[in-house]
Each structure stands twice: as C-alpha cells, then as structure tokens.
Amino acid sequence: MGIIKTENLTYTYSVGTPFEKKAIDNINLEIEEGELVGIIGHTGSGKSTLIQHFNGLLKPTSGRILIEGEDIWKSKASTRQARFTVGLVFQYPEYQIFEETVYRDIAFGPKNMGLTEDEIDYRVRNTATAVGISEELLQRSPFELSGGQKRRVAIAGVMAMEPKILILDEPTAGLDPKGREKILNLIKEHHKKTGCTVLIVSHSMEDIARYANKILVMNKSKVFCYGKTAEVFKRANEISEMGLTVPQITRVINELKNRGINIEDEIYTVKYAKEIFLKYLSEKEGGAYD
Amino acid sequence: MGNIIKTDDIHFYYENEYSVEEGVESPVKEILKGINLDINKGEFVAVLGHNGSGKSTFAKHLNAILLPKKGTVYIGDIDTKLEDRHFDIRQRVGMVFQNPDNQIVATVVEEDVAFALENLGVEPKEMRNRVDDALKAVDMYEYREHAPHQLSGGQKQRVAIAGVIAMRPECIVLDEPTAMLDPKGRQEVLKTIRMLNKNFGITIVAITHYMDEAAEADRVVVMDEGEVILDDIPKEVFSHVELLKSVGLDVPQVTELIYELNKYGLNIDKQIITEDECVEALMKILA
Amino acid sequence: MIKDITLGQYFPGNSVVHRLDPRFKIIITMIYIAMLFISSSIFGLFVGGLFAFLALILSKIPFKLILKSLKPLIPILLFTSLFNLFFISGGDVYIEWAFIRVTEDGVNMTLYMAIRIIFLIIGSSLLTYTTSPITLTDAIEYLLSPLKKIKMPVHEFAMMMTIALRFIPTLIEETDKIMSAQKARGADFESGKVMQRIKALIPILIPLFVSAFRRAEDLALAMTCRCYHGGEGRTRLNQLKSGTKDYMATAITIMFLLSIIILNIFV
C-alpha cells in the first residue's frame, strides 16, 4: 500500500464558465513510502495542480486522494491532518517569510501544529543546522539574509514540521549552480536521514536524473509515465518529443546507439556515463582502462 | 568594427556597506575590482558568474544606472559620468531584467512597448511604426492588445525586449533574462536574442549562470569576486573545467564527460561544448 | 479563490458609447450629474432617466449588469430612504404611530432622493463599463492638465493610477500564492474569533508588502532604463481623438439639460 494513492483524481478549473479546463484528468497513482520522486512536465501539464491535491489545498472535482490509506476529504480533521503529514514547499518559498527572526519563522509551522515549546525549540535548532543555517543567524531578521540562505530558511520552515511526505515545487528555481547543488544535497540528506517520502518538481532533467530514484512524467493533464529513473530514461525520445529537455548526456548516448555503438541506454548522469565508457573501452582493448 | 562599450579599470562599492564595530570603520567591500573590458559592435557576449560575483553590478554600469567610483565607462565615445548624456546612453544600450513581471509598466502590451518612446517624445506616427516593428521582431505582434498578466513568462520577457528594441539601441544588456522562466520560455527568449544579434546586428551582453546559454555566445567572460578571470571564445573558456568548478560554476555535461575521460589517460580534444562534437569525438575512440 | 474577483468594471465592446472620446464621456457624465441635481421635480429626474436609458440602449450593456452595480448600494439606499421618510415632515400626514410620522413631503422627498441616487449610479457605472481604465486615466490627465500650471502633479497622479491598474492582477495572484503557502504551514484563516482572524492575516500581509516594495524598486529601475523622467516632453502612442460624434453627443446632452431647466421653470 503506497503512502500516497489517488483514485480517478480529476480537477476542473472554472467549472461552468467558458474557461472550464481539466487541469488533471483521471489520475491513478500510487507512490511508495520512502521514495525520492522527481516530477517533470511542462508548465500547464498539471503537475502543480496535482501536488496541491496531496495536502488538501485543492479539493478534487472528482476522485479520491488517500494519504496513508485515509481519504483526506473524509472529514475536516483528516484534511487538517493531511496538511501536517504532507509538507509542501512552494516555488520561491523565500517570499512567504514574514517573521522578525529566522528562529520564529522556522517555528511558525511547528507552532501551528500545537507542539510544546521544548519540542519546537528542538526542531527549529535541529532543522536550521540541517539546512546549514548557523546558530548566530537564528536571531537575525530573515530579510537580511542572502537569497540562498532565505530559501534554505523557508525550506527549513516546512522540514521542521517533520512531514512524512515532503513535496518541493522547483526548489532550485533562479539559483546559481552552487546554490542549486546546496539545496539538492540538503534535500537528499534529509531524505536519507529521516526516510521520509520526497517529491521534487523540477524543470531540470539533469538534476532529477542525479537525485531521484523514481520519475513521474506529467503531460497534458495526465500521467505519461511513472517508474524507476533508468526505465523512464529509456523513453528519452518520447520525452523529448513532448518538448521536455532530456539531459545532454542522454542525447549523446542515444545518438551513439543510433550509430551502432552497443551500450546501455539508461545513462543519464556524467558519472555513470564515464564508467560505462571506460568499461566499454577496457572490454574492447582488454583491460587498459580499469 | 569599433567598440560599443569600453570599460577602463572600473571599481565600485556601495557607500553604506561598512560596519561600524566599536567605532572602527572596516573598509568598504569592493564589488568591482578593476574591470577592463571592450565589447565590439555586433558581438554576442555572455557574462558568467555565481550570485554575488559582481556581474549584475557590472551590467548596471553599462547604461549609467551605476557610475564607477574609479575608472571610466565609455558608451561609444560618451563617458557615462556625463549626466546630460544619460538619455543618449540609455537609448543606445537598452536593458532587460530578470523578473518579467516587474519591468512592464503599462496595462496593454503595445503601450508598454511604447513607454520609452513616449518618454523620449517621439512623434505618435513614428512611434506607431516603431512599436509595430518591435513587436513583430519579437513575434508578439498579435498580442499587442493583451494585458501583460495574460501572458506567459517567456512572452512577457519578449515584450520587455520589444520595449527596448523600440528605442533602436545598438546594444542590449540582459541581466539573467531566463532565470525565472520555464524551459519553453527560456527557448523563446534565447531564440529572440540570437535573432536580434544575427539579423539586426544588435550587440548582446547576456548575464547568465546557465552554461548552455553561454555556450552559444561568441565570447564568454567569467567573473568572480569582482574580477574578470576568463575572457575568450566559449570552447576555450569551458576547457578550464577545474577553474570554473572552483568558482561555483558548471560546464556543459559533454565538456565534463570528456574532461573526466581524459583524466583516465584518454586523449580526446578538450574543447568540446556541443553534443555533435562530443558524439563525433566519442565515435572515434569507441568505434 | 480571490483570483475570480472581476476587477475594473470595464466591459469591452464596440458600441457608439464605447467609441466616444473618453474626455467627452467624462464631460457628458458631469452634465448628466448636473441634470440630476438641478431638476427640482420628479419630472426633471425622469428626463435625466430617459437620457441614461437611451445611453444604456446605445451602449449594448446588458441591463442585468447595471442592476448588479446597484446591489451594493441597497443598504445605503434603504438607510437614507428611512431617514428621509421619518424625519422630513410637511403636508398631509399619512401615518402617525408613537414617534413615527410619515408625511406627504416625506414620501415625495424619499422617492425623489432614491431615484436620484439610482440614476446617478446608473450613469456613472455606464462610464466605467464602457471606458477602459487606462483611457479613462488618460482622459482625466488631459482634463486636469490645466492644473499643471499651478504645480499640481497631474501626470504623476495618472502614472500612479496606471501602475496600480497594471499591478492589481499581479498582486492578487501573489496573495493567492502566499495564502496557499501559509496554509501549507498550518496557518488557519477560517476559524477563530475576530482578533485571531486579524492576527492570522499577518503572515499574508507582511510578505505581500515586502514583495510589493521589491517590485516597486525593480519597476523604478526598469523605468529609469527606459528614460522615464516625468511628464515633461512626453508624447503618447494612442492619442485621444475627438470627432463629430463626440460634439453631437455633447450637444444632445446639453439639450436634455436645457429641457430640464425649462421644466424647472414651468412645472
């Protein structure tokens, strides 16, 4: 039984007006506990609508969402519970920061959960450290921090709620390569340490390829495919036809295969590609590059 | 061929950025530490650098939004310190910013494109022609009567570009124009920029931290800590894999792959930045 | 969702009324208001009403919309009507009960005031329904431009209006996003007492202000880059154009005004 399960989930915008549009259409999906899932798709493919259903921000037009086996719209209490079981970090989360100090901003979520002061204090300090925000920054105004630091504080604000499922919508948008790396690493670290289920929405297939074990591809309000990273990358051609960019390295491998080089076709990271090439060469030349 | 932009040892710092600790003023933090750069007419230059490397501050010097504390910036032959020439300068060097929402002034697309021309007092009839031309150039003519908030990010950014090219500038400086866009929007904007450079001969200075965007330029300038550390054609710049990584930048995946393979004693051309080149090079050793 | 609120009461169209020069439309609306205020009898009001009715038919704006614009005014209308009904006395007494007295003059005045307010709203909504906010702003700037001579910041005022109109949809969308984000952090906007609810708004208002200031800063920079330097020597892409139809419309309006004046004298 998956931790997230959707049954015929459909959401229609502006029902009864000329602008009526199905944002997601009959989604049946099951995401297993402890996965790190990358979600890709065009703007308007329905991926943002989908994730906003997981914590009850949007109510389905029809169909059901089950979190840990329970329908989140069964009662008011179960909807509220879903808010805490599923942590959602929006795009550009630093724009939601409002408190006077970093400490209080991270504490906002835990406070709303009604935790004790001690528990809040423990969680705030713990998550701050996890995202690389040092002790002395905690009493500073969050508005004085750098862009990357603000982003990490905002993510910490959700992590401190210790959700079993953590969803991040484009957590690296607008950051430089170093900032991107930092954010993705801390998410990976959090995933490893807590064993929670993580969903990352991203436009960067390169990033997804390096970090996710599974990939969900959304296209035209439907699930195009959901599976292990390697399996999804086997369909790289179809994915590029959709207009999504597959990593450069995958395109190179595909071209080499077209030209008759016999190598595996689920290569999507530079590191992996390097190993494959070296293996290929050493087999060809008898162990020269081991 | 002449210079459109020439910077002569420019230094810059913000006046109020010092900390007073126990009465001792620590020295101001210089953001630009002596930049010498000539940009030729018709060139497509990408300026790379991580956040805080000074690249945006540098960009703001190119149309007299900021003035150097030391050194001189020349636009054509005009010193940007000459305040009465600022409109000339801004007309010659237009600027496009990162956030597509925050640079559109008017509530109708065509009126926004006309904004600069209205400020410059261009005759309405001439203005109409220029606005239409600019909108056609960025392929947004059919949206001329739309409200900005009905457009996608890429479309808004193209409107912002149209607003600049309506001034008929010689050069456009774009400060991370694609950072907030989705891949489709990025493609639209990049295509537009390349087209303006090729077909209209407009000089382009594109500030970015996307390597694949920089790889398409004629020339790449890498900045770090307020200094230019590399300035060459893309192939040459990207062959410095270690150096780029050490200043928080990436290289295209194919360049990195070749670099990694070379570490193992393979001898492949280091200067590979496109997929095609990579495929060719790998075919040679694999086949 | 907040996004669904329709803003700017403009309904695009291509009727004669839509195509009138906004400057003349403002002037005509002013004359119309004058009609309502000078008419000393209910007959005068009906002449004004006839004028509004004709304009409404020409504008092809559905009557339903006009009714909708009156809806928020019902409480005010009721309040003033009751006030007039009970406190104006004179003429025959119709009802007398305890301290309540309804008289002939009271009834007349009540009807007269209510009709006047309704007609007033119909006329001015017709102006905003048929004129886009941006051309309306332009027209106001033009009509107020004599005030520039006495150093009134007329251009700046119009610019501010334009920017406000431009950013209202953006900020509404932003409010929506911030609300969702804070809800995801467990913020509760739907329950609690008044004070709690007001306090719950802080996590929305602060980020909204911060973002508005950031946008303002960005916009100011973008405007500087595009050579903005106030209203001096500025030209406009879309010139306001007046023609025969505008003069005709104004002439007709003045005729209505005159007929009311004549009615005032003879009735």
Query: Are A223 and A115 within one domain?
Result: yes
Window A:89-118, CB contacts with C under 8 Å = 89-90, 93, 95-98, 108-109, 112-113
Which residues, in sequence order, are CB contacts of A227 under 8 Å at separation 6+? A214, A215
For residue C239, give the chain B residue with the closest CA: B124
For residues C102-130, average pLDDT: 86
Q: Is C7 on the interface with B (CB under 8 A)?
A: no
Domain membership flag for residue A241:
no
Window B:126-145, CB contacts with C under 8 Å = 127-128, 131
Least Cα separation, residue C16 to chain B (angstroms): 20
Q: Specify which residues B12 forms β-bridges with.
A: B32
Find the angle CA(B221)-CA(B251)-CA(B238) to the nearest 5 degrees: 50
Query: Maximum CA pair distance of chain B?
Result: 71
Question: The domain containing residue C68 runs over which residues?
Answer: 2-131+241-266
Q: Which residues of B16-38 are buried (b: 16+ CB within 10 A; e: fewer)?
A: eeeeeeeeeeeeeebbbbbbebe
Domains of chain B and CATH, by start: 3-239 (3.40.50.300), 252-287 (no CATH)
Give the C-alpha separation, C149 to C95, whole Å. Answer: 58
Query: Are A26 and A164 within one domain?
Result: yes
Query: Are C258 and C184 within one domain?
Result: no
- DSSP output for A223-247: EEEEEEHHHHHHTHHHHHHTTPPPP
**Please, which chains are in contact with B (at least 3 CB pairs closer than 8 A)?**
A, C
Nearest CA-CA partner of C158 in C57, C75, C236, C59: C236
Pairs of residues, one from chain A and one from chain B, whose beta carbons lie less than 8 Å apart = 91
Give the C-alpha separation, C216 to C197, whole Å. Answer: 29
In this complex, do A87 and C184 lie within 8 Å of one another by their Cβ atoms? yes
CA–CA distance from A53 to each of A12, A63, B47, C69 (Å)?
12, 11, 41, 36
Domain membership flag for residue A235:
no
Least Cα separation, residue B111 to chain C (angstroms): 7
In the block, tokens 């009904």 appear at C85
Q: How confident is the model at residue A254 (pLDDT cuts 50, 70, 90)?
A: confident
Query: Are C123 and C245 within one domain?
Result: yes
Dihedral sign of CA atoms C2, C5, C7, C12 in order: positive
Query: Are C69 and C24 within one domain?
Result: yes
Least Cα separation, residue A221 to chain B (angstroms): 17
Query: Are C106 and C166 within one domain?
Result: no
Q: What is the pairing mode between strands B203-208 and B44-48? A: parallel
Query: Are C106 and C160 within one domain?
Result: no
CATH number at residue A92: 3.40.50.300
For residues A9-22, average pLDDT: 82
Give the C-alpha separation, A150 to A102, whole Å. Answer: 9
Assess whether pLDDT exceeds 90 at residue C188: no
Predicted pLDDT at B26:
54
H-state helical runs in chain B: 55-61, 86-92, 109-120, 124-137, 153-165, 183-200, 211-214, 234-238, 241-246, 253-263, 275-286
Which residues, in sequence order, are CB contacts of B32 under 8 Å at separation 6+? B10, B11, B12, B13, B54, B57, B58, B61, B68, B226
Give the C-alpha separation, A158 to C53, whole Å. Answer: 58
Query: Are C9 and C111 within one domain?
Result: yes
Predicted pLDDT at A286:
64
Domain membership flag for residue A242:
no
- Token output for A81: 């519970």
Residues in chain B closer than 8 A to A42 (CB atoms): 182, 184
Please give the helix or strand (H or E) that residue C143 lies within, else none: helix C133-144
Q: Is B138 helix (H, G, I), strand (E, B) or coil?
A: coil
Domain membership flag for residue C137:
no
pLDDT tens digits, A42-68? 888 999 999 999 999 999 999 999 999
Predicted pLDDT at C211:
94
In this complex, do A98 and C206 lie within 8 Å of one another by their Cβ atoms? yes
Domain membership flag for residue A234:
no
Are the CB atoms for B110 and B144 separated by under 8 Å?
yes
Predicted pLDDT at A287:
53
In the block, tokens 């009715």 appear at C53
Predicted pLDDT at A288:
53
pLDDT tens digits, A206-230? 889 889 999 999 999 999 999 999 8
Nearest CA-CA partner of C17 in C267, C260, C249: C249
Give the C-alpha separation, B40 to B204, whole Å. Answer: 10
Query: Maximum CA pair distance of chain C?
Result: 72
Query: Are C124 and C18 within one domain?
Result: yes
For residue A82, give the chain C residue with the closest CA: C184
Query: Are A256 and A224 within one domain?
Result: no
Residues in chain A closer than 8 A to C199 (CB atoms): none
Query: Are C180 and C259 within one domain?
Result: no
CA–CA distance from B226 to each of B32, B49, B215 (Å)?
4, 10, 22
Q: How confident is the model at residue A233 (pLDDT cuts 50, 70, 90)?
A: confident
pLDDT tens digits, B110-135? 999 999 999 999 999 999 999 999 99
Residues in chain C closer than 8 A to A87 (CB atoms): 184
Find the angle CA(A108)-CA(A89)-CA(A171) to the nearest 5 degrees: 130
For residues A89-105, average pLDDT: 95
- Token output for B6: 């020439």
Residue type at position B235 = K
In the block, tokens 């308007």 appear at A44
In this complex, do B65 and C224 lie within 8 Å of one another by their Cβ atoms? yes
Query: Are A182 and A290 within one domain?
Result: no
Domain membership flag for residue C11:
yes
Query: Are C120 and C248 within one domain?
Result: yes
Q: Is C8 helix (H, G, I), strand (E, B) or coil?
A: coil
Query: Maximum CA pair distance of chain A?
Result: 69
In this complex, do C178 and A113 lie within 8 Å of one another by their Cβ atoms? no
Give the C-alpha separation, A121 to A150, whole Å. Answer: 20
Give the C-alpha separation, C234 to C231, whole Å. Answer: 6
Give the C-alpha separation, A245 to A263, whole Å. Answer: 22
Of the ranges A83-92, A260-269, C73-82, which is most confident?
A83-92
Q: How confident is the model at residue C109 (pLDDT cuts 50, 70, 90)?
A: confident
Give the C-alpha separation, C171 to C28, whole Å. Answer: 34
Domain membership flag for residue A64:
yes
Looking at per-residue pLDDT, the higher value among A155 and C44 belongs to A155
Assess whether pLDDT exceeds 70 at residue A290: no
Domain membership flag for residue C189:
yes
Query: Are C163 and C253 within one domain?
Result: no
- Token output for B30: 């210089």
Query: Are A259 and A193 within one domain?
Result: no
Spatial strand order in the sheet of B3-13: B30-40, B3-13, B70-75, B78-79
Query: Are C123 and C51 within one domain?
Result: yes
| Domains identified in chain A, total number | 2
Predicted pLDDT at C5:
41
Dihedral sign of CA atoms B138, B142, B146, B150 in order: negative
In this complex, do A174 and B180 lie within 8 Å of one another by their Cβ atoms? yes
A20: how many CB neighbours lie within 10 A of its CB? 10
Query: Are A25 and A79 within one domain?
Result: yes
Predicted pLDDT at B143:
95
- Token output for C184: 């995801």
Q: Which of B95, B122, B149 sits opposite C170 (nearest CB)?
A: B149
Burial of B199 (0-12, 13-18, 19+ CB in 10 A): exposed
Give the C-alpha separation, B15 to C21, whole Å. Answer: 51
Least Cα separation, residue C1 to chain A (angstroms): 10
Residue type at position C139 = A
Which residues, in sequence order, are CB contacts of A103 under 8 Å at separation 6+? A124, A128, A138, A139
Give the C-alpha separation, A249 to B275, whole Å. Answer: 8
Predicted pLDDT at C67:
81
Predicted pLDDT at A289:
54
Low-confidence stretches of chain B (pLDDT beneath 70): 1, 16-27
Give the C-alpha separation, C126 to C249, whole Å. Answer: 15
For residue A95, give the chain C residue with the closest CA: C207
Domain membership flag for residue C198:
yes
Query: Are C117 and C16 within one domain?
Result: yes
Query: Are A196 and A284 within one domain?
Result: no
Query: Are A152 and A68 within one domain?
Result: yes
Give the C-alpha separation, B80 to B62, whole Å. Answer: 8
Domain membership flag for residue C55:
yes
Question: The domain containing residue A195 runs over which residues?
Answer: 4-229
DSSP state of A100: S
Least Cα separation, residue A139 to chain C (angstroms): 18
- Token output for B26: 């620590």
Domain membership flag for residue C148:
no
| Domains identified in chain C, total number | 2
Burial of B142 (0-12, 13-18, 19+ CB in 10 A): exposed
For residue C188, give the chain A residue with the closest CA: A112
Predicted pLDDT at B22:
46
Domain membership flag for residue A239:
no
- DSSP output for B164-227: HHTT--SEEEEESTTTTS-HHHHHHHHHHHHHHHHHH--EEEEEES-HHHHTTSSEEEEEETTE
Please state whether A60 falls in left (phi above 0), alpha (psi between -120 and 50) or beta: beta
Q: Is A142 on the interface with C (CB under 8 A)?
A: no
